[in-house]
Amino acid sequence: MKSFNLNLFLVSGLLVIVIIYSINQYSPHEEPIEEIKDFQGIKLGSYTDFEENSIKGPQSIEINSYRLKVTGLVETELEYKYDEVLGFPSQEKVIQLDCVEGWSVRVLWEGVLLEDLIDEASVKPEAVVVIFRAVDGYSTSLPLSYIIEEEIILAYKINNITLPEANGYPFQVVAESKWGYKWCKWVSEIELSDDLDFRGTWESAGFSNKAESGGQKWETRN
């Protein structure tokens, strides 16, 4: 009988602990984060509106082992953990991505200035191009001057939610005013370079390296 009462006491105590823990974890004052549909009066598309056209399909990243590398023409090559990138000052921009396939989506992006990330590595004077490489082998590039002047961001949120895997988690380049193939997803490396002749995945296939949104899609052959 004593053994039964002791077991009942232990079970009751454990139940109380579980209930208290549950209350603390799921406070009624904490609202779930949902995708927003407008921002400062601007109607937004949805993260689900983006069509899947990556070279190997959505990538699944193990965030604990993930590192974002800054390499190339820098004084000190760096490797950022995911949380370290999120520690930089954040920027928000409503930007439309235009795809050469004919579709467009306008959403709110939140991320960090690429300039802030690469400045930490002390960029060498001869660097003029920034090459982006993704975990799936994809690559593209943008002029360093464009990244600085246009305050280009590396996004980690879309419409107030963390980037889903299909949208490039953990990071996507928001290359505003450029065709969608310049918006590298699943970014794993940022390389500073002096190679003006570098051509990324789709540029090597003939797409314009300038990639001005709404402009010429194909590289001009001389």
Predicted local confidence at residue 220, as pLDDT: 78
Q: Return the number of other C-beta atoms located less than 10 Å from residue 122's C-beta.
A: 10
Please give the distance of CA 189 from its chain centroid, rounded to a whole number: 12
Q: Which amino acid is at 204?
A: S
Q: Which amino acid is at 39?
A: F
Find the largest Cα–Cα distance for the chain.
95
The Cα–Cα gap between 159 and 190 comes to 25
The CATH number of 35-193 is 3.90.420.10
Which secondary-structure segment (H or E) carries 90?
strand 90-98
Predicted local confidence at residue 222, as pLDDT: 54
Predicted local confidence at residue 33, as pLDDT: 77
Please give the distance of CA 152 from its chain centroid, rounded to a whole number: 12
Predicted local confidence at residue 165, as pLDDT: 97
Predicted local confidence at residue 60, as pLDDT: 97
pLDDT along the chain (222 residues), means of 10: 46 40 34 84 98 98 98 98 98 98 98 98 98 98 98 98 98 98 98 98 98 93 58
The Cα–Cα gap between 210 and 222 comes to 15
Look at residue 145 and give its three-state secondary structure: helix
The closest of 221, 212, 220 to 98, measured between CA atoms, is 212
CB contact set of 106 (below 8 Å; sequence gap of 6+): 42, 44, 45, 94, 95, 96, 97
